């Protein structure tokens, strides 16, 4: 059993979108620990927000399970290179930077993936943006729009573009949040989009069932990622995850296995579901 760190953590504010390399303690994305067993052998996976945090852990796990991976990210080139270096196993890894808030880039991600690999077997919509606001009237209009563009509109656009390149048995996995069930008021725009992702997932799963394309979402609780240290006040970062029954935040590597399951053929009868990875915080 790993003895993962518990709060309090050092002060470490960073500008958005944050750098994993600068975090203390450094998140565990499975670089040293994840061992694959061929569960995704030969699959092609497109993963957004895969430069760091949960996305990096998923990319590493998928590669070590035998998948070729496309790492989509904003502009965190150094973090993305570390994701590529950590994949191991000799699998191919394509890095595609760009802004998911732009419709043309959502289409380009799919086009470049298909140009390189010919198809998409697994689509993981994981990228997200959040900022903290104590008062409703302090939320800028452009920030509200950008949060929706990145967190939910991009998922709609990428799914629509990717669908024609996905065969029966393919899998779409969206990253929701515990905030879809218990919205944190200071994260109102983010929490609202995460509720939308849960509903989008449930509805799309029903629409794509006849195509035998499965759609599920994962709802993480407090996970130690650059999104946290770049978007929350110091006092929240210092105590992050301490209120869970396990008394600590989760590490990205602890979230990756559910994505592996949902991407694999073992989950052939699982669709339209939301899986909470919350450290014991109930989702009812």
Q: How far apart are CA 243 and CA 5, in angstroms?
A: 14
HSE-up of residue 123 (Cα within 13 Å, Cβ side): 31
What ranges make up the beta strands (E) of 206-263?
Answer: 214-220
For residues 221 and 279, is the Cβ–Cβ distance under 8 A? yes
What does the block give as tokens for 219?
């709802």
Number of helices and strands (H, E) in the chain? 9, 7
Cβ-based neighbours of 28, under 8 Å, separated by 6 or more:
2, 4, 251, 252, 253
190 catalytic residue (yes or no) = yes
CA pair distance 265, 160, nearest whole angstrom = 22
Q: Where are the alpha helices (DSSP H) in the chain?
A: 53-64, 77-86, 103-117, 141-148, 154-163, 188-208, 226-231, 234-238, 252-263
Contacts of 244 (CB under 8 A, 6+ apart): 221, 222, 278, 279, 280, 281
Return the biggest CA–CA distance within the chain: 50
CB atoms within 10 A of CB 227: 21
State the catalytic residue, choosing from 4, 26, 34, 190: 190
Residues assigned a catalytic role? 190
């Amino acid at each position: 059993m790993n003895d993962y760190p518990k709060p309090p953590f050092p002060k470490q504010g960073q500008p958005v979108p944050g750098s994993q390399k600068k975090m203390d303690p450094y998140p565990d994305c499975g670089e040293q620990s994840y061992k694959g067993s061929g569960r995704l052998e030969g699959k092609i996976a497109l993963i957004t927000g895969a430069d760091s945090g949960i996305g990096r852990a998923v990319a590493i796990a998928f590669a070590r399970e035998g998948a070729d991976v496309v790492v989509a990210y904003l502009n965190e080139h150094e973090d993305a290179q570390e994701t590529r270096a950590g994949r191991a196993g000799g699998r191919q890894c394509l890095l595609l930077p760009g802004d998911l808030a732009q419709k043309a880039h959502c289409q380009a991600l799919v086009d470049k993936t298909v140009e390189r690999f010919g198809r998409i077997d697994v689509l993981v919509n994981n990228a997200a943006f959040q900022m903290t606001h104590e008062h409703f009237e302090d939320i800028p209009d452009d920030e509200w729009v950008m949060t929706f563009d990145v967190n939910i509109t991009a998922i709609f656009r990428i799914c629509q573009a990717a669908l024609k390149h996905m065969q029966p048995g393919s899998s779409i996995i969206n990253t929701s949040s515990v905030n879809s069930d218990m919205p944190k008021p200071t994260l109102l725009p983010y929490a609202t989009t995460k509720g939308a992702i849960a509903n989008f997932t449930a509805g799309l799963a029903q629409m794509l069932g006849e195509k035998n394309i499965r759609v599920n979402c994962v709802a993480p609780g407090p996970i130690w990622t650059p999104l946290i240290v770049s978007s929350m006040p110091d006092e929240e970062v210092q105590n992050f995850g301490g209120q869970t029954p396990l008394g600590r935040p989760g590490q990205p590597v602890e979230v990756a296995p559910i994505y592996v399951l949902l991407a694999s053929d073992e989950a052939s009868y699982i669709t339209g579901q939301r899986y909470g990875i919350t450290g014991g915080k109930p989702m009812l």
